[in-house]
Amino acid sequence: MSVAGRTVLVTGAGRGIGRAEALHLAAAGANVVVNDPGVEIDGRGGDAGVADAVVAEIRALGGRAVADTGNVADWEDAGRMVARAVDEFGDLHVVVNNAATEVNKGMERLAEDEFDDVVAVKLKGTFAVSHHAARHWRARFEAGERTDRAIVNTASGSGLLNPLPTQSNYAAANAAVAAMTTVHALELRRFGVRVNCVSPSMVRTRLTAGVPGERMTGPDVVAPVVTYLAGDGCPLTGQVLSVRGTSVAVNRGWSLGPRVESDEPWTVDALADAFDTVGVEVVDPFDALTTALGGALGLSRREDVEAVVNAQLDLPQN
C-alpha cells in the first residue's frame, strides 16, 4: 500500500492535523494540494500565507505541492480545488476532508449564523469536495480507467464517543460526517472509490488549545492513519477509526441494546412495565463524560465534571 505518485487534496491543511497529514503524505511520495483559506478558528478572516507556508515546507524537503485557498463550503470553490489538483498533477486520487471551524457556546447563547457556519464547513464542505471529486472519478471510470481512489473524512470524538457541552454545532456536524462516510462508501464502491473516516480525540491543536489535560497528543499521531487509508491497495472502506494517541479503534456505530416486544400495539402502562422488567440501564451523560474525559481533567467524580461543565456554560451551580 503506497501513496507514491498519487495526488491527494487535503482540506484545512495549513495548520494542526491537516498540516501534519499533508507533510506525512508528501514525505511518502504523494503530490499534495494544500487547501486552507487561513481563517481564524471561528471562520473569520483569511490569510493565503498559511497554505503557502506548508507548500514551502514540502518543497524544501523535495516534495511536490501546490496551495489552494478556496472555501470548502463554497460549491464553486470546492469544484475549483478538485480541478486544480487535476490541472497541476494530471489526476486526483484521494481527498482528505479535514477542514473545520469552531464556535463553542451553550445552545441558548449560540446564534443562528454561528450554528450554520460551523456545520457548513464541516458537513457541507465534506460533501461539496467529495461531490466534485466523485464526478471526476465517475467520468474517468466510465472512460475505462480503473484506478484505486479514496476519500478520508474527518470526524471527532466530540461527535461520536463523548459529545461535549458547548458543541451542538461541531458535534452534530462531525457525527453527520461519520454517517455520511458509510453512505458514500456504499455509493462509490462501483467506481472503485473507498471511503473511510478518522475520528481523532485528545489532540492538541488550535481548536483544543483551551482544553486542559496532560494526555493531549500532537497532531502527528493522526497522519500515519490517513496515509494508510489513502494508500493504493488499502482494503478498508466504510470504516470510522477512532484515533487517540497510539490507539486506533474501529467504531461500531449505533448498536442495539436491550429490547422489549409485544404482539399488540403498546400502551403507556404496558411499555413502562416492560422496561421495568428488562431492567434497561440508563447511563447519565455526565457519567459517560467523566469516563471519557475525567482522567484528562484530573477529575474522577461525576459531580466535579458537572461543576466544570456548568461553570463553562455560565450556569448557576446547585
Catalytic residues: 170
Closest listed residue to residue 132, CA positions, set 94, 80, 170: 80
Q: ∠205-57-63 over CA atoms, to 5°?
A: 120
- Grid cell 463553542 is found at 104
Residue type, 184: H
For residue 100, which of 230, 12, 202, 197 has the smallest C-alpha distance?
12
The DSSP symbol for 31 reads E
Give the count of beta carbons closer than 10 Å to the beta carbon of residue 97.
31
Q: What is the residue-wise DSSP string for 232-294?
A: BT----S-EEEEETTEEEE---S--------SS---HHHHHHHHHHHTPPPPPHHHHHHHHHH
